[in-house]
Amino acid sequence: MSQSQLPRLEVCLSPALLHLYDTRDTVVVIIDIFRATSTMTAALHNGAACVIPVASVQECIALGQQIPDSITAGERDGRIAEGLQHGNSPLEYPAEFVTGKTLVLTTTNGTRLLHMVKDAAAIVIGSFLNLSAVCEYLLSHGKNVLLGCASWKDRPNLEDTMFAGAVVHHIGDRFSINCDSARMARHLYRQAMNAPLISFLRDSSHYLRLSAYGLEQDMEYCTTPDMHPVVPVLHGDKILI
């Protein structure tokens, strides 16, 4: 198959750039490594019934009051948002706590980007925790792919870009790539891939921000590949596996 016949693969480094990309009939991967998509992936693999992503804290609280066996969770600027029961850490949701429950989640960046995507063929959740499963899913569907980085308040960040680069590194030869953001992301990942990823990311703004709250263990967990081999997909207003 010639390059012109292959589906395209692109990387959007920030929600502020999303308007530059065509998401129609495209599989969009939402990426928020520190920590929303990592938390969703871990909670669902550990037995959560579903995740309902919402944009605001107020909506999160309201839904939590309406849905039986629900957990309201989320953060603003790295801390548990006032009025919510739990935070945005994948380590907060082991099987013995989350099995069968609905996680209603709001975060600073990841849930916002998810609600911005329009007319996609599918919206899936990507993290290092499910890297190989996501790659296999993208190959099996044979559609155009947009890797969407949640970034930090519209500013590109290292960890989301590095995950996008990992996907491009692993499966980019099966797609047509005419996107320098994808090339940049792949170069970044290849610089870091031969050592623990967290060692590269310790010199990043988000690591420094979250480590000030004592969340180093969270971030090390979030950069461990393939601990949760599932592909969460948005169906209506719910994310399911």
CA distances for 165 relative to 12, 74, 137, 191, angstroms: 11, 27, 17, 10
pLDDT of residue 78: 72
pLDDT of residue 109: 78
Per-residue pLDDT tens over the stretch 135-147: 999 999 999 999 9
Are 151 and 157 a contacting pair, CB within 8 Å?
yes
User: What stretches in the chain show pLDDT beneath 70?
Assistant: 1-3
Q: Is the peptide bond before 190 cis (omega within 30 degrees of 0)?
A: no
pTM score, two decimals?
Answer: 0.95
Q: What would the two tokens of residue 136 be? A: 């296999």
The alpha carbon of residue 151 and the mean position of all alpha carbons in its chain are separated, in whole angstroms, by 10
Distance between CA 146 and CA 11 in Å, rounded? 6
Per-residue pLDDT tens over the stretch 6-47: 999 999 999 999 999 999 999 999 999 999 999 999 999 999
Q: Which CATH architecture has domain 7-240?
A: Alpha-Beta Complex (3.90)
Tokens 């706590």 map to which residue? 97
